Amino acid sequence: MQHDAVTVGLGFAIGVLSGLFGVGGSSIATPLLRVTLSTPSLIALASPLPATFPTAATGLAAYSREGLVNRRAVIWSVAGGLPAVVVGALLTRWIPGHWLMVLIALAVAGVGVEMLRLNPYSAAESARRSTQWRSAPVPGLLVVAVGVGLLSGLLANGGGFLLVPAFVLLFGASMREAAATSLVCVAFLAVPGTVTHALLGHINWWLSFYLAIGVIPGTYLGARLSIWQRQVHLRRPFGAFLLLFATYFLITQILGSV
């Protein structure tokens, strides 16, 4: 019973972060499950994936009325990302996972630093970036989606922690627009990984169920907080979150190789 309550609590925390920042949750959930519940590696990696779908649906319900989802970005990101996820999952047979994880941790840390360095935009610059985001170039979206999809397949997650900074830094999205759009993309990109790991027996469905119980209200709360606190600039909090997460992830990978 206590184990289940902790899992629900973890799901709630993951949901709040997902609603605020648009990450699907699996990238956060895996280390949390390993640290707090000593969940076996493959189970911790794959079991959060089914909770991605209620996360996305709940976040979309909160964000959609605000007009924050860029359907153009969703369509082309999914079109480029889905086949790349399958390829990435297949590449896990031949690519050494440990050093890839280290490189990804360093890349995420670099993105976090860049997000921290960004200053709030002027009204004119915000208007220009909004126009840029709404007409984001298809080739650029496809290139980003393929890269994110490959990494998502390799790491068994939806890729939100990579999509959000890409949407902000490369295409001019605000953090709220990037978070809302990313949640929809992540729901689609998580499908191949969920099916694959389910067939391999890597998903503990009861664990996924209890995570989802916490994720649903947590995601809605996080999304509503993001919408209500419009005056708060979320880029720097998100950058700090990425930097802390990358540092933790890097340390665990280095210690794991010792």
Given 3-state DSSP classes, what are the helix, strand and coil percentages for the chain, each rounded to the nearest 5?
Answer: 80, 0, 20
Considering its fold, how many domains does the chain have in total? 1
- 27 CB contacts (<8 Å, ≥6 apart)? 155, 157, 158, 160, 161, 245
pLDDT averaged over every residue in the chain: 79
pLDDT tens, 133-175?
988 999 999 999 999 888 887 776 777 778 888 898 889 888 7
pLDDT of res. 145: 93
Q: Quote the pTM value.
A: 0.75
Measured CA angle at 96 (ends 92, 99), to 5 deg: 125
Share of the chain above pLDDT 70, in %: 82
In terms of residue numbers, what domain contains 217? 2-257
pLDDT tens, 76-131?
999 999 999 888 877 766 766 566 667 667 777 877 787 777 666 666 676 777 78
Burial class (CB in 10 A: 0-12, 13-18, 19+), 3: exposed
Which residue, chain included where needed, has tokens 């992540």?
186
Average pLDDT of 25-32? 69
pLDDT band at 256 (very low <50, low <70, confident <90, very high): low
Provide φ and ψ at 119, rounded to 5°: -95, 155
Coil/strand/helix, residue 136:
coil
Most confidently predicted of 33-37, 116-120, 146-150, 246-250 = 146-150
